[in-house]
């Protein structure tokens, strides 16, 4: 998710999160130490993970410290799906947790990590695949995996069906109708897949972890929409973790701490580079897909973030997922796709 420049959590969003219902206690955590090589698929918010979760044949759900890791099969891959939560601290913590939970001979049992989500960028609905990411405003950059990038380039050269009309979505996770079944306006351009350029991850939360909200809908919720309403542990974490964000002093340095780095970034978010950093330390290949939820091509002329984000987040999330699914299909056919993360 993207929170940049003068962007800040709205009082309405915080109020909705604070008033979310407290779910019932779920089952105990399972184990992940089976030496099966899997692909870790991550998103920050339910709206981003939902389209991938819907295509996954689920084998089991491993719950650890109140966080769910869905184990199953997706596009020919053995996968683990999970939500990181919003922000770089959450993204770092959740990736590290997955690496510790799913191991083989003392190492993470993942052949790769893929992030699918939305971001700020140039053209709403288009999917960006940056070749490198920065977590420190452009001082240093971390490259993505070369083999994974090559598969993404083949996908971009093909024909992935991307939405141009923005769906209304399912913000409350009511699951009454499909999020894609009710359309709204169409963006003024045909969304495309763009491989290349730099991505930037910023930290608008000043090193704090923004807690998810139990039953918090498709943005602030703790699980995919289909699974929301499960864990009392999450309610306890939210009650204690939200305090710094309702303190007015939290917002005093918000704008200055999230100013973008120098240069142009095709994607600006709050998680990808943090996940990439953890993957690089463990020498696990990484690639990120970010579709633009706030940018150009808005026929309504909405006033940027967060208004554009809330209006176009379903369009962007669906398009990011479509390219992620196409990538996983292509990457499944590639030989030796999980050797080690490339560096240069």
In the chain the domains, ranked by start, together with CATH numbers, are 11-332 (3.40.50.1580)
Residue 253: what pLDDT? Answer: 38
* 8 A C-beta contact, residue 191 and residue 127: yes
Residue 2: what pLDDT? Answer: 55
Q: What is the DSSP letter of 28?
A: P
Residue 178: what pLDDT? Answer: 65
Residue 126 has pLDDT above 60, yes or no: yes
Residue 115 has pLDDT above 60, yes or no: yes
Residue 33: what pLDDT? Answer: 55
Residue 232 has pLDDT above 80, yes or no: no
Residue 102 has pLDDT above 90, yes or no: yes
- H/E stretch holding 70: strand 67-74
Query: Which residue in 42, 5, 87 sits closest to 290, CA to CA?
Result: 42
Residue 60 banded pLDDT, cuts 50, 70, 90: very high
pTM of this prediction?
0.83
What is the C-alpha to C-alpha distance for residues 75 and 64, in angstroms, rounded to an integer?
26
- Per cent of the chain over pLDDT 90 is 67
Higher pLDDT, 174 or 232: 174
Q: List Cβ neighbours of 22 (8 Å cut-off, separation of 6 or more).
A: 214, 232, 235
- H/E stretch holding 328: helix 307-332
Residue 243: what pLDDT? Answer: 43
Q: Name the least confident of 135-144, 201-210, 260-269, 325-334.
A: 260-269
Residue 300 has pLDDT above 70, yes or no: yes
Residues 144-198: pLDDT tens digits?
A: 999 999 999 999 999 899 999 999 888 988 765 566 667 789 999 999 999 999 9
What is the C-alpha to C-alpha distance for residues 240 and 266, in angstroms, rounded to an integer?
35
Residue 169: what pLDDT? Answer: 86
What is the C-alpha to C-alpha distance for residues 263 and 282, in angstroms, rounded to an integer?
29
Across all residues in the chain, what is the average pLDDT? Answer: 82
């Amino acid at each position: 998710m993207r929170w940049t420049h003068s962007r800040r959590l709205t009082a309405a969003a915080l109020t909705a999160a604070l008033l979310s219902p407290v779910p019932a206690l779920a089952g105990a955590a399972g184990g992940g130490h089976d030496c099966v090589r899997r692909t870790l698929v991550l998103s920050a918010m339910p709206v981003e993970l939902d389209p991938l979760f819907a295509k996954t044949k689920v084998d089991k759900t491993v719950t650890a410290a109140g966080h769910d890791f869905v184990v199953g099969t997706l596009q020919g891959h053995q996968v683990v799906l999970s939500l990181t939560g919003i922000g770089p601290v959450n993204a770092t913590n959740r990736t590290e947790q997955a690496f510790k939970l799913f191991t083989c001979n003392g190492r993470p049992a993942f052949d790769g990590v893929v992030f699918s989500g939305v971001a700020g960028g140039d053209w709403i609905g288009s999917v960006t695949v940056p070749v490198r990411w920065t977590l420190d405003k452009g001082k240093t950059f971390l490259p993505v995996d070369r083999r994974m990038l090559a598969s993404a380039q083949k996908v971009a050269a093909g024909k992935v069906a991307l939405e141009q009309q923005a769906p209304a979505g399912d913000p409350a996770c009511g699951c009454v109708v499909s999020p894609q079944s009710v359309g709204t306006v169409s963006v003024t351009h045909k969304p495309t897949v763009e491989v290349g350029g730099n991505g930037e991850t910023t930290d608008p939360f000043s090193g704090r972890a923004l807690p998810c909200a139990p039953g918090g809908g498709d943005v602030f919720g703790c699980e995919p929409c289909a699974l929301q309403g499960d864990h009392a542990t999450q309610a306890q974490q939210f009650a204690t973790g939200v305090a710094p964000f309702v303190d007015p002093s939290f917002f005093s340095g918000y704008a200055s701490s999230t100013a973008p780095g120098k240069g142009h970034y095709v994607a600006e978010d709050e998680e990808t580079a943090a996940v990439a950093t953890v993957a690089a330390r463990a020498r696990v290949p990484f690639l990120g897909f970010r579709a633009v939820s706030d940018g150009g091509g808005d026929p309504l002329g909405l006033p940027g973030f967060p208004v554009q984000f809330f209006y176009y987040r379903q369009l962007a999330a669906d398009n990011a997922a479509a390219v992620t699914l196409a990538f996983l299909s292509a990457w499944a056919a590639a030989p030796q796709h999980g050797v080690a993360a490339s560096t240069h």
